[in-house]
Structures are given as structure tokens and as C-alpha cells.
Structure 1
Amino acid sequence: MLSLRTLLFAALAAVTAASAATVTFDCSRVPNICSNDCYAIRCLGKPTTLTRNSPQAEDNRDANACRSPNRCSGNPSDSNSCDEYPFASTSQGGAGASTRCVPSQENSRQGGTLSSFYTRNSVANGDSYSVAFSNASGLQYCSGSCTNSGNQLVRRLPAFAARQETSIVQTRKLLLASGEEALMFEPVSARGSLNRMVNQTVDLREEAVRVVAVL
């Protein structure tokens, strides 16, 4: 028989998941960053629900391959900035984050999207939120093979992630009221959990867009 404490924790987790805001990255504007994020989620098993922890950002970067100076410094403009997932501004960031050399323009766009999302949705330090993607069609790591093309690097790779060879998430499509689709990843151990997104909204291009169906 489940204890009252266990039931309370389960209820709290369900409420948190259902009420967490969702930031949606438009991959047509940040394709390299979306590739890195998808690689981290699908191929390394990194979480799609993150907890904001901006004061930890500098220490998190120091603990992963984006520590300055890094391998991206001095590269051509198509790969001169280091991106990491989970984000440095989250409790899940730091050692073991997936990193990729991306155009600095993309990193600036992503940073602007995330900063605006935090402000628009009143996401404070300690608050959780979810991550989704739009226009991700054709990006290898968002739907295809997890074979590293050579641009993905993880520093201090945890033993679990080192053994991870196949995706532990399944892809779900969110149909939006705008007529667009967004991509989210659902743990195979929690099939159907993203069905809760119906009639909720996702933040896309600084607008709240309602989810009408989850496929």
C-alpha cells in the first residue's frame, strides 16, 4: 500500500508537470542548436523538463566543454560559439552536458528566446519548464540516427550516458492552433504523459499558442 507521503509527492509531481510552461525553439532560426538539443535528449537521455538556476550558469559552463576558451573559439562564423544542453542556466546543466560548435548568431537568438520566455512566463529560479521544437524536420538528431557526426562533444560523460546507444524517448507531435506543429520528446517509461498538453499553451516566437492535439 502506498504511503500518504508517496501519494502526496506523486500528486505534486503531476501538478508541476501539468502547469510547467513550455518554451518552443523555432529550428528554422537555430538549426544547429536544435540539433545539439535533440542529440542530448534523444541520444544521451537528457531531460526535457528543466529547472531554472541562473546563478549557477557560470559554474555549469566551467564544468562542461563550453568552458572558455573552448574548441569553438576562433572557428569560422558557422561554428564559432559553444552551445550546451541542458542549458547552463538550469540545475540540470554542467558536467555531462552535450555541446556543439554553432554560429554565434544562433546562440544569441536562443539566448534571446530563453530570456524572453523567462520574463513572459514569470519563470523564476527554482521554477521548472519544458522544452519543445518547431520546424525540426530534416534535422538528424531530432528524428534520425544518433551516430555522432563529429561535432558533438560531452565532457565528463556519466557512465550511464556512455552506455546509451538508443533513444529512451519517443517523439510526439503537438498540433497547434496556429496550424503549426511542435515536437516534444516523451520518456518511453511514461507513455501518454504528454497527452496532458492538449488545451495548454506553448511559447512560440514570443506568443502563447494553444495545443489542440497531441499525436
Structure 2
Amino acid sequence: MKFFSIFSIFFLVSSVTAANFAWDCTKSLGTCQNYCYAAKCGRMGRRRFTYDSNANARPGRRKASGCKRNPCNDKKLKFGKFGNSCDEFPFASVKEGGRNAHLRCVNINENRSEGGQLSGFYKKIKNGDKFGITIKNYRRASYCAAKPKCRNDGGQFKLKNGKFAPSRQGLNSTEEFDLDNEDYFVLDEAINGEEMEPLPLRQVETDDGEIHLIIADDLDDPISVGHEIWSESANGTVRVVREIFE
């Protein structure tokens, strides 16, 4: 059952502007699968990313993540069942990208859709800006479900110790970790082979009627009623009008 947030009563008198990016999964379902696997099953959600406008830094991050090695076209690896274009999360365009990124082979058109949407958003922010991410039209992405089955579908993998290996589930929800520690991004291995609980993520509705799943957020100032989110499909910002509780 869905309820209006108590914060809704403040909507008409409260306005908060933040750097948040709305990702439309309609033409990039495979990349959304990767992000939701990382956020929920790899327990990387609830953390913003830092834009790096230096394009010269991106090849190094792609090399560190493994995407530069073109794993999706290597028949020996068998990760290319969903496409032949390597997608990485976090992106190579953010300072948190590179080593230990979650990888998935996707259709090249999905990666192009991702790149086009990001490019439009990056024109609205400055180098060093931190930003949150929401996704919409994600219902067909199984890892984006409220309580997804986090078993690897054969498409999730990482570069580890110089070799590509299938991804495994993330930290137990009771495990404590430091969100400011750069090693946070390596803690996605199951503990003693146990099946872990996926990280629960919040949903919001914006004034254009779209439902968003929040996969990257500011813990000190979480996306809520009154916050703005940049949306390519709206060619501008949309405003959060309610939080959704299931």
C-alpha cells in the first residue's frame, strides 16, 4: 500500500535545489540492471558521486575497471550473453569510478543512451559537484525490484586481481561499514557463502507523474519532497511531490 509522506504538507512552502540526475531506463535497461545490482545486491546505494570533467582521466578508470580490455567480445570469458558493450558502475566520469566497478555487457545502443543522458546532465553541473541518481521506467529490470533475487544472472562481473570473475552478493545488512572509506566499493563479496539481504532503496514521485527509484543519495540531505531532479525527457528539472512507502 502506498502512503503520502508527512513531508508533503510542506511542499508548497518548501523548495530545495540539489544536483540530482534522473536516469530513464526505457532505452538502457541493461545498464539499469547493472546499477541496481550494484546498489541493491552490491549494497552501493545511498551514496552520491563526484563529477570529474577531466576527460583525460576516464581512460585510466576504464582500464582500472576492466572495460578497456573489451571483455564483452572475449568469447573465452562468456559474459557477453546480454550484449557486446561493457558498462561500468560507477561511471568512468566520476571520481569514484575505476577499480572495483561493477561490470555488465549490454547492447551498444543502451550504452549510447546512457552516455547521451549523462552528457546532458553534466552540462548543468560543474567539475567536482556531487550528485544523486534516480532511475525511472525500471520495472522490467529484475535487480531493481523491491526485494530482488540477487543471484547472478550470468551478466554481472568484476575485474579482481587482474582477472575477470562473476560478481557475488554484497554485505550483510547488519554489517557496519564506513561510507567515506574508499574500500567501500570492494565490499561486495558474500560472507561465508551466505545469501545476503538486498539493500532497501526509497522511491519518490515527481510532479510529472513519474516514479523514481533512488540509487544514489546524500545521507545528510536525502532526496525528498521539494527536491529537484534533472530529467532529459523533461528537458529540465522535475520536483519531488511525495515519497512512496510500500
User: The TM-score by the shorter chain falls in which range?
Assistant: 0.7 to 0.9
Cα offset for 1:214?
1.2
Deviation track 1:45-91 (CA, whole Å, cap 9, x = no partner) reads: 22441001243211110001212332346898961211000001111
Greater CA drift, 167-176 or 31-40: 167-176
Matches within 5 A, 1:82-97: 82-97=86-101
Greater CA drift, 141-150 or 166-175: 166-175
SS in 1 for 2:67: coil
1:46 is aligned, of 34, 44, 47, to 44
Query: Relative to structure 1, is the Cα distance of residues 76 and 155 closer, same or farther in structure 2, using a 3 angstrom cutoff?
Result: closer
Give TM-score, length-normalised by structure 2: 0.70
How far apart in 1 are the matches of 2:151 and 2:80? 24
Question: Are 2:137 and 1:110 aligned?
Answer: no
Query: Relative to structure 1, is the Cα distance of residues 171 and 76 closer, same or farther in structure 2, using a 3 angstrom cutoff?
Result: closer
Unaligned 5+ residue runs, structure 1? 1-17
The amino acid that maps onto 2:129 is D
Q: What percentage of residue pairs aligned between the two structures are identical?
A: 30
Query: Relative to structure 1, is the Cα distance of residues 102 and 43 closer, same or farther in structure 2, using a 3 angstrom cutoff?
Result: same
Q: Is the 8 A contact 2:228 2:239 kept in 1?
A: yes
Whose RCO is larger (CA < 8 A, sep 6+)? 2
SS in 1 for 2:189: helix
Q: Is the 8 A contact 1:170 1:185 kept in 2?
A: no
How far apart in 2 are the matches of 1:147 and 1:130? 26
Query: Relative to structure 1, is the Cα distance of residues 159 and 81 closer, same or farther in structure 2, using a 3 angstrom cutoff?
Result: closer
SS in 1 for 2:40: helix
Query: Relative to structure 1, is the Cα distance of residues 184 and 73 closer, same or farther in structure 2, using a 3 angstrom cutoff?
Result: same
Query: Relative to structure 1, is the Cα distance of residues 116 and 185 closer, same or farther in structure 2, using a 3 angstrom cutoff?
Result: closer
Aligned to 1:71: 72
How many residues align? The count is: 192
SS in 1 for 2:35: helix
Deviation track 1:142-187 (CA, whole Å, cap 9, x = no partner) reads: 1211111011111128652223653563221111111111111478
Q: Is the 8 A contact 2:21 2:131 kept in 1?
A: yes
How far apart in 2 are the matches of 1:103 and 1:153? 16
Indicate the RMSD between aligned Cα atoms, in angstroms: 2.7
Matches within 5 A, 1:197-208: 197-204=224-231, 205=233, 206-208=235-237
How far apart in 2 are the matches of 1:36 and 1:186? 14
Deviation track 1:176-201 (CA, whole Å, cap 9, x = no partner) reads: 111111111478xx6x963x521111
How far apart in 2 are the matches of 1:202 and 1:140? 24
Matches within 5 A, 1:12-27: 20-27=18-25
The amino acid that maps onto 2:153 is S
SS in 1 for 2:157: strand
How far apart in 2 are the matches of 1:21 and 1:167? 29
Query: Relative to structure 1, is the Cα distance of residues 139 and 168 closer, same or farther in structure 2, using a 3 angstrom cutoff?
Result: closer
How far apart in 1 are the matches of 2:116 and 2:64? 23
Q: Is the 8 A contact 2:81 2:155 kept in 1?
A: no
Give TM-score, length-normalised by structure 1: 0.79
Aligned to 1:81: 85
How far apart in 1 are the matches of 2:241 and 2:81? 39
Aligned to 1:177: 207
Unaligned 5+ residue runs, structure 2? 1-15, 162-184
How far apart in 2 are the matches of 1:114 and 1:103? 17
How far apart in 2 are the matches of 1:38 and 1:108? 19
Q: Is the 8 A contact 2:18 2:229 kept in 1?
A: no
